[in-house]
Structure 1
């Protein structure tokens, strides 16, 4: 039974929200980042990049403390304000091709422990500990975990009713994406949503596995240090953004490898013939259209790879996943790549024009071969999570991508 809770969000002042909200820090090129930091004093980037104030690159625990200080300054300067009543927050993201309507709420660490909140990716312990330390020092969580839930008529009807009201935020960013936020403070509405989610067997993490794991780690440390621990403290919950399965957009990550592991082109193709029927494509850029089919770009030519299903054995949900099939039939045994996270010979790409980018990278000599896949589905993610299995890294690129700084959860 999934637990959600309202919380008193820290939010940007209405007249400054368009200036505060930022994309994920990793998405900025250095030149754009420096320009925003220089000319936009309200950007949330100032909080997560506190060294800019001192014209100094700051890392580690010193940075964590300064992030906390910049956060306090935003509160003192009324750039941020704290809501008086615990609320849920309805957030809609719309662009010309995509729209999602989801809910900011607090979700339970205990649900994560009990596998009611389900994961499909492994986490790295070092990163868990680092981010837990970060959360403890800064005292807030500004990056919600993206989770999905099975489409529900009761929840949908409540949310559709709420979006008929005037939003507290309504602005468009320079990437032509519209952002709208509604605050749900009415106790009856909150209770109805809590009850609807409590009837669900599971929530599924789409993006934010390390954030979830770190919040769990922090809760364990805080509960041990608090002799009056009750289970109701804020550290027992973490901020999430919940959207129905139908509104999740999943894109594929393609793979590019720098060399053929000492094989000639002909030797490489012969090795692939064990598991695949290989056909050269003479009709330009080739993109696969269904599961267990791959495109390959090699030596200036596209190929289609059709899995020989009588040779490859399907044993569980993971073995049916295209990223796992590619790993087990080509990347590991033929190209010698066993560590998909850390091997410098492999790179990943995503996006609308990624096959063209992949082709250009190989034509330029940066890589020797590239593989195109079809996107993984929500049902595949759920099957992996339900079975307690783990996907290969870079199996999914998931939207929506949320703006930072719109709602902050204090720990």
Structure 2
């Protein structure tokens, strides 16, 4: 039973929403973030990454950085850049990329659902990354970046969303990267009631992206419970900002791999070893990406190869049957010596949004071999989470990315 509730939102003034909306804080390094803020002074990145307001001598984890984020948020509210919306409601958030639409519900999810595994994880989190967002949320007294959640499609929720989408949007803008963003408010009490009731009958919700933000929000909530012994569970710190998408709306792109060397092998020795577990074919001169599970593209010495796994992998283990696991277990580890892909500096990961050309470029510049992957499917992610297991690192690349700054949840 999922507790997904409407909330009182802090949101941008309609006239500046497109300028405020920013990609997630963790897609930029410090230099890139500073350049983005210089290019667009209203970008929410200046709050999400407030070190952009200091010179590089100030550490990104300095207390002044988090205080600056809080000050900027409050200043923007006072100046009318952000509106403190007094109405408790849901929002509908549509993103359109290259003509393909995906629509989610903006709401608040319960930290108890996270703790009780109604909201399921599939990824490990790192303490240092958690600590940064804990301090940001705690100091700002607000959750500024939504967690990307997925659930199995529900016809009644879909019907409400489809009906609201027929009305005029609250926001509608096209970002510089070409992604269209449309937002509607759901304030009608009957519609709110239907959505809340239907989610209360859903047993499992899944974190698609934003594990660190989710873990941080939960830890801030628990900290505030400790400080507020008389809490009753309705306080805002018991909930975290989310956008929930039905699984049939989502697009997962491949997360490709590049490796720096051939582990002491020459090209022929490497291909001979690969052919022990994979059928190796030359598909032609064009860049090649897999069209189905169990096959992989490989770029080596200016040539593309098609690899097809010879052995049938049992589906009994939802992790071992993933293509990312097959490549890791039958090629990257035994042949190329990549033990832990989380820590091995010889491997790098390329999001599918960057195309196969990026794999060729990296091999020509600083890598020895590249692998193009078939994208992990959302039902595979669900199966791993349902089994209480973790996905291998860099298994999924979701596009388009949710923008930060459109919805803020005060705690």
Would the aligned equivalents of 1:281 and 1:301 in 2 still touch at CA under 8 Å?
Answer: no
- State the match for 1:359 in structure 2: 360
- Does the alignment pair 1:282 with 2:284? yes
SS at match of 2:7: coil
Residue 51 of structure 1: CA displacement?
4.3
- State the match for 1:118 in structure 2: 120
Deviations 1:214-252 (A, max 9, x none): 222222222112121212111111000011111101000
Would the aligned equivalents of 1:278 and 1:303 in 2 still touch at CA under 8 Å?
Answer: yes
Q: Distance in 2 between matches of 1:90 and 1:288?
A: 34
Residue 338 of structure 1: CA displacement?
1.4
Q: Distance in 2 between matches of 1:6 and 1:248?
A: 22
- State the match for 2:23 in structure 1: 23
Q: Distance in 1 between matches of 2:69 and 2:265?
A: 50
Stretch deviating more after TM superposition (164-173 or 369-378): 164-173
Would the aligned equivalents of 2:262 and 2:270 in 1 still touch at CA under 8 Å?
Answer: yes
- State the match for 1:307 in structure 2: 309
Trace 1:55-66 onto structure 2 (pairs within 5 A): 55=55, 57-60=58-61, 61-66=63-68
- State the match for 2:5 in structure 1: 5
Cα 1:36–1:326 change in 2 (3 A) is closer
Cα 1:405–1:319 change in 2 (3 A) is same
Stretch deviating more after TM superposition (235-244 or 130-139): 130-139
Stretch deviating more after TM superposition (118-127 or 251-260): 118-127
SS at match of 1:404: coil
Residue 352 of structure 1: CA displacement?
4.7
Cα 1:30–1:76 change in 2 (3 A) is same
- State the match for 1:382 in structure 2: 382
- State the match for 1:334 in structure 2: 335
Q: Distance in 1 between matches of 2:133 and 2:36?
A: 25
Would the aligned equivalents of 2:253 and 2:398 in 1 still touch at CA under 8 Å?
Answer: yes
Deviations 1:95-134 (A, max 9, x none): 3332111111000111111111111112123322332232
SS at match of 1:83: strand
Deviations 1:382-402 (A, max 9, x none): 111111111111111012311
- State the match for 2:407 in structure 1: 407
SS at match of 1:281: coil
Q: Distance in 1 between matches of 2:130 and 2:50?
A: 22
Deviations 1:157-216 (A, max 9, x none): 111111122222122222232222111122221111000111111111111111111222
SS at match of 2:335: coil
Would the aligned equivalents of 2:33 and 2:52 in 1 still touch at CA under 8 Å?
Answer: no
Q: Distance in 2 between matches of 1:52 and 1:363?
A: 34
Residue 345 of structure 1: CA displacement?
0.6
Q: Distance in 2 between matches of 1:73 and 1:171?
A: 24
Q: Distance in 2 between matches of 1:125 and 1:69?
A: 26
Would the aligned equivalents of 1:117 and 1:205 in 2 still touch at CA under 8 Å?
Answer: yes
TM-score (norm 2): 0.94
Cα 1:18–1:124 change in 2 (3 A) is same
Trace 1:160-171 onto structure 2 (pairs within 5 A): 160-171=162-173
- State the match for 2:43 in structure 1: 43
- Does the alignment pair 1:185 with 2:190? no
Q: Distance in 2 between matches of 1:175 and 1:164?
A: 25
SS at match of 1:289: coil
Cα 1:369–1:32 change in 2 (3 A) is closer
- State the match for 1:256 in structure 2: 258
Stretch deviating more after TM superposition (374-383 or 50-59): 50-59
Q: Distance in 1 between matches of 2:307 and 2:39?
A: 50
Residue 313 of structure 1: CA displacement?
5.6
Q: Distance in 2 between matches of 1:208 and 1:101?
A: 18
TM-score (norm 1): 0.94
Q: Distance in 2 between matches of 1:211 and 1:35?
A: 24
Q: Distance in 2 between matches of 1:371 and 1:127?
A: 28
Cα 1:62–1:102 change in 2 (3 A) is same
Q: Distance in 1 between matches of 2:175 and 2:11?
A: 17
Cα 1:390–1:49 change in 2 (3 A) is closer
Cα 1:132–1:54 change in 2 (3 A) is closer
Q: Distance in 2 between matches of 1:32 and 1:125?
A: 24
86, 110, 117: which one aligns with 1:84:
86
Would the aligned equivalents of 2:143 and 2:217 in 1 still touch at CA under 8 Å?
Answer: no
SS at match of 1:374: coil
Q: Distance in 1 between matches of 2:96 and 2:284?
A: 38
- State the match for 2:372 in structure 1: 372
266, 269, 279: which one aligns with 1:267:
269
- State the match for 1:175 in structure 2: 177
